[in-house]
Amino acid sequence: QQPVQSPQAVILREGEDAVINCSSSKALYSVHWYRQKHGEAPVFLMILLKGGEQKGHDKISASFNEKKQQSSLYLTASQLSYSGTYFCGTEKSGGATNKLIFGTGTLLAVQP
Amino acid sequence: KAGVTQTPRYLIKTRGQQVTLSCSPISGHRSVSWYQQTPGQGLQFLFEYFSETQRNKGNFPGRFSGRQFSNSRSEMNVSTLELGDSALYLCASSLAGTDSRGAQYFGPGTRLLVL
């Protein structure tokens, strides 16, 4: 079942912060985050594993609440380059595969 | 290292035809996954290959098939094309092995239009 992302879209001014949420109805082993710019391929941002800690990448960080099967992506002091569609990809517990089920995406637009 | 490459980049076919798409993973990556991306359904998992074996399959009809070669290059085939198969087909490679998860690195995709 496809994870649900919220919000569906968000418009920011440069320097503002944003949070994107990803919720699943199934127990998760890991959550991946990707960003896709218009006309380009998705680009990997980070993975959060079950039992792992919050991760950060420059001014983008994420958390993973295993009990709630939820992950949140935090974008701090947004830059124009952050614009794009953000997808979470979830992997169920168990198995040794790379089967990712992606969320519906969150469109982020950062304006000057 | 060179990234994931996909050929062809664009393709126009008519209903009933078949098509083969190719994907060359990043050197050293043994896992290759295929996804279909459409505006209505988003990114949907087709299948994943690891060491020439299909490890997992998504909920697509049997018209969609794939294979992986000993050099980790992969192909996917769609037979008896339907209008609804028009989409961007993305291939992603990963270092992940039998007991670990890894980042997936996507190719530029093949945009297929079925008329």
Residue B9, sorted as left (phi over 0), alpha (psi -120 to 50) or beta, turns out to be alpha
A101 reaches B (C-beta below 8 A):
yes
pLDDT along chain A (112 residues), means of 10: 93 96 88 93 89 71 89 94 95 69 94 94
> Cα(first)–Cα(last) distance of chain B, in Å?
37
Residues of A in contact with B9 (CB under 8 A): none
Do the Cβ atoms of B43 and B58 come closer than 8 Å? no
pLDDT digits (tens, 9 = 90+) for B40-61: 888 999 999 998 999 889 999 9
Task: Please state, in angstroms and as integers, the Cα–Cα distance from residue B26 to each residue in A37, B33, B43, B96, following that order.
Answer: 21, 12, 21, 12
Residues of A in contact with B94 (CB under 8 A): 98
pLDDT at A66: 85
A91 reaches B (C-beta below 8 A):
yes
Q: Minimal Cα–Cα distance from B59 to chain A, Å?
A: 11
User: By CB neighbour count within 10 A (0-12 exposed, 13-18 middle, 19+ buried), where does A111 fall?
Assistant: exposed
Q: Where residue B102 falls among pLDDT bands split at 50, 70, 90?
A: confident
A100 reaches B (C-beta below 8 A):
yes
Q: Are β-strands A60-65 and A55-57 bridged in parallel, bridged antiparallel, or unpaired?
A: antiparallel
The one-letter amino acid code at A9 reads: A
Nearest by CB to residue B109, choosing from A30, A41, A105, is: A41
Whether omega for the bond prior to residue A7 falls within 30 degrees of 0, making it cis, is yes
Number of C-beta neighbours around residue B100 at 10 A:
11
Nearest by CB to residue A98, choosing from B31, B106, B107, is: B31
Task: Name the residue of chain A whose CA is nearest to B111's CA.
Answer: A39
Fill in the DSSP letter of residue B41: T
For residue B85, which phi and psi values (nearest 5 degrees)? -85, -5
pLDDT at A59: 85
Q: How far is it, in rounded angstroms, from Cα B78 to Cα B112?
A: 11
